[in-house]
Amino acid sequence: MFEGQPKGLYALALANTGERFGYYTMLAVFTLFLQANFGLTPTDSIGIYSNFLMFVYFLPLFGGMAADRWGYGKMVTIGIFIMLLGYILLAIPAGAGATAYAFMYGALALVCVGTALFKGNLQVMVGNMYDAPEYAGKRDAAFSIFYMAINIGAMFAPTAAIKAMEYAQSIGFSEADSYHFAFGVACLSLIVSIAIYYGFRSTFRSAEGGKVKAAVQVAEAAPAQELTKEETRSRIVALCLVFAVVIFFWMAFHQNGATLTQFAKDYTATSSTGLESMMFDVRNLVAVIFFVYALFGVFQSKTTKERGISAAVIVAVLAYLGYQYTNLPESVKVDAPIFQQFNPCFVVALTPVSLAIFGALAKRGKEPSAPMKIALGMLVAAAAYFIMIAGSVEAPMPAFDEATGQTLHMADFSPNLLISTYLVLTFAELLLSPMGISFVSKVAPPKFKGLMMGGWFVATALGNKLVFIPGLLWGKIELVQIWGLLAGICILSFLFLMSQMKKIRKVS
């Protein structure tokens, strides 16, 4: 998994980890901030959330076009500083009036523009390193590692947000003002990301593109593949078919910050006891991740010493978890944003499992193609919402406080319902997202790499915009109908992609 990868992969992955940590720290509490600070209803706050996500992922289309002309590295550099300005604006407590709205919308605009220049182009730079023949066979594994790094940042984000808010409240800030401390954490993470990017720039400079790097790239990169107009067209059509399906995956997946967070707030127990409560301490989740990686080390290590180290890590982790269990408090508080730590935790833990499974299938010549993995991902996403359907059969309709317009806490379902749903959604994500990014970087015509990676984000943007539809239905129809709508959309997307698989396979 990690062997034989260029050093630039790890530098870019770590830079992205810092940026994503800030982004997901902000996202973990954003809809709740809108409700607490401005008194917005869940429907209105989810509407703003979905619009923000749409622009975050739509604008990289233009960021990619700019990078195809002026260079990926230059756009990434400009983008990260614009994002930093956006988080600084969010971190300023400006109250709840017109000024506060101006700061909030201005910050969102800056984050959207900065992300447009940063995110997609950073991924193109990763792909550029694998155009060289000696790295070509490691492309899928590289994007899985890169995607895992993104989720390391996302895994700690909800805890960071909650701890920052608790600290703010402990020193006298109101609940509404405490959210700005969480946004301040995002500012610090961007500064770390900037330091990593510039500190290790020499390891990926040849992948930056632009006229300044032309001589280096000619010397180091593989010759650009010449395509006919028909080949170019076929590749673009295949990518667009995949993009059409990806739209509906992100509509379903990004309910994690919308209806699934609302379910956590309105329907899930606010405390946990016993073994279950250990899952709400991110340190325990990190320990489990170490256990998974050490277990792989025991079976995959090439020397007795390496196996011994892995075994020692396993023993240490088990001892730590045993100590944590024997010292559990009587009850652990469960905040709604904390559930968003489980998806990235599962991504980090399951990435080596996914790579091992597909590696074993590849040796037998049975590994599914990237488009087939994407199709299967849609089917698995549907299964996640069937879990929510089964768990919500007896759930009452959401009710609202007439005085405040806020939803009331309706039930105390086990946290395991949401955790199980996030686990299955993570399997879907691992099948679809890193494989999709790898597929785009491989199939995109050389002259349109930035544009096509931007197209991937446009599909994501449209899916994010559609996130608001279940939000509009919140409180108007039964919960099982909301989850059923999402499951049905995923199944139809799977069937559509399977019907187009022959066209897509011709270019992959």
Give the whole-angstrom CA distance, residue 143 versus residue 136.
12
In the chain, % of residues over pLDDT 70:
95
Q: What mean pLDDT value characterizes the chain?
A: 86
Q: What is the pLDDT of residue 82?
A: 94
Q: What is the pLDDT of residue 9?
A: 86
**Angle, in degrees to the nearest 10, between helices 342-363 and 282-300:** 10
Give the whole-angstrom CA distance, residue 316 versus residue 291.
9
SS (H, E, C) 117-154: HHHHHHHHHHHHHCCCCCCHHHHHHHHHHHHHHHHHHH
pLDDT one-digit tens code per residue, 417-433: 999 999 999 999 988 88
Report the Cα–Cα distance between both ends of the chain, in Å, rounded: 22
pLDDT one-digit tens code per residue, 138-157: 777 788 788 888 888 888 88
Give 201's contacts (C-beta < 8 A, 6+ positions apart).
11
- The SS3 call for residue 400 is strand
Q: What is the pLDDT of residue 248?
A: 94
Which structure tokens are listed for 440? 């785009």
Neighbours of 404 (CB within 10 A): 11
* Exposure string for 471-487, b = 16+ CB within 10 A, e = fewer: bebbbeeebbebbbbbb
Q: What is the pLDDT of residue 225?
A: 58
213 has a pLDDT exceeding 50? no
* Exposure string for 80-101, b = 16+ CB within 10 A, e = fewer: bebbbbbbbbbbebbeeeeebe
pLDDT one-digit tens code per residue, 305-349: 889 999 999 999 999 999 999 999 999 999 888 898 898 889 889
pLDDT band per the 50, 70, 90 thresholds, residue 3: low
pLDDT band per the 50, 70, 90 thresholds, residue 70: confident
Task: Name the DSSP letter for residue 432.
Answer: H
Domain ranges within the chain, ordered by starting residue: 7-221+229-270+334-505, 272-333
Is 321 exposed, middle or buried, given 0-12, 13-18 or 19+ CB atoms closer than 10 A? Answer: middle
Average pLDDT estimate for 5-33: 87
Distance of CA 86 to the CA centre of its chain: 20
Give the whole-angstrom CA distance, residue 70 versus residue 91.
32
Average pLDDT estimate for 42-62: 85
Contact 422, 256 (CB under 8 A): yes
303 has a pLDDT exceeding 80? yes
Q: What is the pLDDT of residue 457?
A: 81
Neighbours of 33 (CB within 10 A): 24
Q: What is the pLDDT of residue 49?
A: 85
508 has a pLDDT exceeding 70? no
Does residue 14 or residue 220 have the better pLDDT? 14
215 has a pLDDT exceeding 70? no
Give 308's contacts (C-beta < 8 A, 6+ positions apart).
none
Average pLDDT estimate for 366-373: 87
pLDDT band per the 50, 70, 90 thresholds, residue 111: very high
17 has a pLDDT exceeding 50? yes
CATH class of 7-221+229-270+334-505: mainly alpha
pLDDT band per the 50, 70, 90 thresholds, residue 210: low
Closest CA to 470 of 234, 262, 200, 318: 262
377 has a pLDDT exceeding 50? yes
Average pLDDT estimate for 35-49: 86
